[in-house]
Structure 1
Amino acid sequence: MQPVGLDVLCIGSVLWDVIGRSAAVMRVGSDVPGRITRLPGGVALNIGMMLARFGMRPALLSCIGRDRQGDELVAACGTLGLDTRLVYRSDDLPTDRYMAIEGANGLIAAIADAHSLEAAGARILRPFEDGRLASPYRGLVALDGNLTLALLSEIADSPVFAGADLRVAPASPGKADRLRPLIGHPGVTLYVNLEEAGLLCQVDFPDAASAAEGVVARGAARAVVTDGGRTAAEATRGAQTLTGAPPPVMVTRVTGAGDTFMAAHMAAEARGASRHEALAEALQRAAIYVSGDIGP
């Protein structure tokens, strides 16, 4: 039986983000002053953290090491309103990390060390096998593309998730192709940017609307496509495609913006918002986030 109070599962990367930020424009080889911070991160954690801020009750399914960094991360998750009771704690795998450099001109470079999550594989899904979670699961799931292709394929084909409301983020353009097994899932919504949509469909799309329609044409039930500060779109099979423009803001950070957008969209729909209202709210929340007006 699932934990009391749970209303969304966040499956994927839960790790420490080490982010270096500078107000300077940067290029390869730049050596500039700035700030370096360590924060709880990972796609699943970031989405869960924002869902909690938007009034939902998320639980994490991931791998966290039984090392000092892992203990600190579990404690930090608790303060953020994230339920970690279902997380797989490994004795032999270290806690994962992500490192990024951001300048005034955006993300300069990033390295994701999520090898432990990949090594843990299907072990993170044990709560569905031992009775801690309902099986089949018919609730809301936020799924990130940091999982291995094999595990994503297993989730796509598993009767456990056949009736779930799967909301999927690709994690990065380099992992967009991992999402292909999920395209045919009847309850899938793919949240991708314009580049990721193009990689997923192997097409150069001119804008978010054509990209969202292209992903749906490939078999997805629904696709939500963003394009930085330009027009975003939501396409649903059998319905009119929606578009919306984010409000113009001064960009002070980019890491986590897509996760904020996705979480805001999910939370709005969970409250009963219409498709149009949910897209507008997600764009507004993401703009506020990148402007630095809410916490990291």
Structure 2
Amino acid sequence: MNKENQILYHIRINPYISQQELSKKIGLSRSAVANYIANLTKQGLIKGRAYVLQEESSIVCIGGANTDRKARSDQKVRLYSSNPVKMAEVCGGVARNFAENLSRLGHNASLMTCVGDDREGDWILKETKSQGVDVSQVWSLQTERTGTYTTLLDEDGEMIVSMADMNIYEKITTAMLEEKWSFIVSAQAVFMDANIPKDCIDYLIKRCKDENIPLYIDPVSSAKGRKLPQRLEGVALLLLNQDQAEMLAGAKIDSVEDCQTAAEKIRGRGAEKVIITLGDQGVYYASPKESGHLPPFETDVVDVTGAGDAFASCAIFGIMNGESLLGACQLGLAGSALTIQTEESASTLLKPEKIYELVEKYR
């Protein structure tokens, strides 16, 4: 974090903190802190005493919201046989998880998705709203079933296989998005996952480009990532795993150097920034200004479900708060590490002070 962001971080935790306290925490003279605060006030980032920060940026999250059903094996999984497991059911879906994570991190997040007119849909909306997410823009479709994602985890919490029933998202149309456009365009940024149909993806990329709205995309899977258009102008950030990056770049990734080549190819298609997550090998990031590789933060693994969504959420939290792509990725790694310590797909541990503290620990 630069000095301005460090000051904002401490003020966010304690709006009544004194300049003397800030100078001790950040390692600056009191006069230097006063100058920084004066500049932040001129920028509109601080509004008087107590230090009142500007309203957090709003973001619309478009894509999946479903029930996550997890079966964790008590022992080594045996194929073609009955396995003793512990079952858990939580709210999931990439866009939904993202909205909840961003809300928990202090942003005004709205969810735009569709659910069935059923028990699962009602439960998802109730739980998501209780986490501070605006669900007023969700479509409830009477003749459809709410999406489900079922996964089998081994005794170490690593995924063995997953099954997704996401047919409901094929019911979303460009006309439905057009009806909501006045709401979408009022946001500071848009997040989209590739659960929605291809024509809707094309529509959002073009409209966000035309309206100059930052658009962040998570393809969800390699298969769904194939719905992305060849030209990606208008995409501010692509969040990819290794398989998705290989598919979009048309090249195998076996090393950090391969990541660099793949990221350059993908950026050559028009995307401004690219992040490639590499599991236990960390992340690779690339933008017009910077690129590099970061190892993961060490942590105890309970359940890896939702770790990728947590990384993406915290990385974009960083970008929306003025962090460099490097700094954003460090926040993402912190969010991922906190999430895999729990069985929650959207961890209650995700708070600004928690992820910043973890970044400082590993810096």
- Shorter chain as denominator, the TM-score bin is 0.7 to 0.9
Counterpart secondary structure, 2:143: coil
1:133-173 Cα distance to aligned partner (Å, 9 max, x none)? 154x5621111011112221222233686411111101122
Q: Which runs of 5+ in 1 are unaligned?
A: none
Structure number with the higher strand fraction is 1
Q: Is the 8 A contact 1:98 1:112 kept in 2?
A: yes
- 2:292 is equivalent to residue 249 of structure 1: no
TM-score, scaled relative to structure 1: 0.88
For residue 28 of structure 1, report the CA deviation from its aligned partner: 3.1
Helix, strand or coil at the partner of 1:248: coil
1:225, CA displacement in angstroms? 0.6
1:22–1:35 contact (8 Å) kept in structure 2: yes
Equivalent residues of 2:70, 2:150 under 8 A apart: yes
- Name the residue aligned to 1:122: 174
Aligned to 2:66: 15
Give me the whole-angstrom Cα distance separating, in 1, the residues matched to 2:149 and 2:333: 25
Instruction: Find the aligned partners of 1:30 and 1:215 in 2 and give their Cα distance.
Output: 43
What's the offset of the Cα at 1:20?
A: 1.1
- Listed one character per residue, the Cα deviations across residues 45-72 of structure 1 (whole Å, up to 9, x for unaligned) are 1111111121112101111122222222
Normalized against structure 2, the TM-score is what?
A: 0.73
Q: CA deviation at 1:235?
A: 0.7
Are 2:318 and 1:283 aligned?
no
CA contact (8 A) 1:234 1:242 kept: yes
* Structure 2 segments unaligned to the other structure (5+ residues): 1-54, 349-363
Moved more, 90-99 or 42-51: 90-99
Decide whether the 8 Å contact of 2:193 with 2:217 is kept in 1. Answer: yes
Give the match for residue 319 of structure 2: 269
CA contact (8 A) 1:169 1:190 kept: yes
Q: Secondary structure at the match of 1:158?
A: helix
- Mapped to 1, the partners of 2:278 and 2:218 lie a distance apart of 15
Say whether 1:186 aligns with 2:237: no
What's the secondary structure of 1:229's corresponding residue? helix
Instruction: Give the equivalent residue in structure 2 for 1:219.
Output: 270
Q: Distance in 1 between matches of 2:78 and 2:266?
A: 33
CA distance in 2, matches of 1:260, 1:138: 21
Contact 1:16 1:42 in 2 (8 A): yes
Identity of aligned residues (%): 24
Structure 1 counterpart SS, 2:274: strand
Q: Residues of 2 paired with 1:159 and 1:291: CA distance?
A: 36
Aligned counterpart, 1:144? 193
Structure 2 equivalent of residue 203 of structure 1: 251
Report the AA paired with residue 102 of structure 1.
Answer: L
Question: Which structure exhibits the higher relative contact order, with contacts defined as CA atoms closer than 8 Å and separated by 6 or more residues?
Answer: 1
Question: Aligned pair in 2 of structure 1 residues 105, 82: CA closer, same or farther (>3 Å)?
Answer: closer
Structure 1 position 95 matched with structure 2 position 146: yes
Q: 1:245 to 1:81 in 2, by over 3 A?
A: same
Matched with 1:233 is 284
Partner of residue 260, structure 1: 310
Letter of the 1:107 partner, please give it.
Answer: M
Q: How many residues align?
A: 288
Shift of 1:196: 0.9
2:218 to 163, 169, 173: 169
> Which one has a bigger Cα radius of gyration?
2
More helix by share: 2
Q: Deviations over 1:245-282 (max 9, x none)?
A: 11122322122111100000011222222222111111
Q: Distance in 2 between matches of 1:293 and 1:90?
A: 29
Cα offset, 1:30, TM superposition: 4.9
Moved more, 10-19 or 208-217: 208-217
Q: Report the AA paired with residue 226 of structure 1.
A: T
TM-superposed CA distance for 1:89, in Å, is 1.6
1:228, 1:26 → 2: CA distance?
21
